[in-house]
Copies of this chain bind each other. A is one copy, B any other.
Amino acid sequence: MEKYKDIGFKLTPQRLAILDHLDGNKEHPSAEDIYKAVSKQFPTMSFATVYNTLETLRQKGGVIELTIDPGKKRFDPNIEPHHHLICIKCKRIADIHGNYKLTVPNRERADFEIVGNHIEFYGICPKCKAVKN
């Protein structure tokens, strides 16, 4: 937690509450999810604070922004490089830490300098499989 102060990230009560909610969170929450959860403790919490904090955190490498969900951003406090498995029915997202070595064939690389990758696996989660229809 102290690491943030060192990089000029002012630790306010609101930010601590957001960090606390994110810490170890495997739900890949949206801004709204976070707002709902944190405003229970901070009824005056503003949506803008959630967005501002997430954006500042992202810039400082404290959180990853996921573009998996159409229409809204999701946030992942797990900053280790990893991949995701998405339930196409309920949109639940699970982490995948498998070690994949992916390269782009020269022919396809089109002179891009490759800096990273991210795999999205699609599937149906056990809960949704259990539901008929």
Chain A residues in the interface with B (C-beta under 8 A) = 65, 67-71, 73, 85, 87-88, 94-98, 100, 102, 104-105, 108-126, 129
Contact = CB atoms under 8 A, between A and B. Distances in A.
How many identical subunits does the complex contain? 2
A112 B97 contact: no
A120 B118 CA distance: 5
Contact of A115 (B69, B88, B95, B112): B88
A27 to B, nearest CB: 14
A50 to B, nearest CB: 16
Contact of A73 (B70, B85, B109): B70
A116 to B, nearest CB: 4
Nearest to A110: B94
Given A67-B67, A67-B69, A67-B70, A124 B98 contact: no
Contacts of A126: 110-112
Nearest to A114: B123
A72 to B, nearest CB: 9
15 contacts: A71-B73, A85-B108, A85-B110, A88-B115, A95-B108, A98-B104, A102-B119, A112-B123, A113-B123, A113-B124, A115-B122, A116-B122, A117-B120, A117-B121, A120-B120
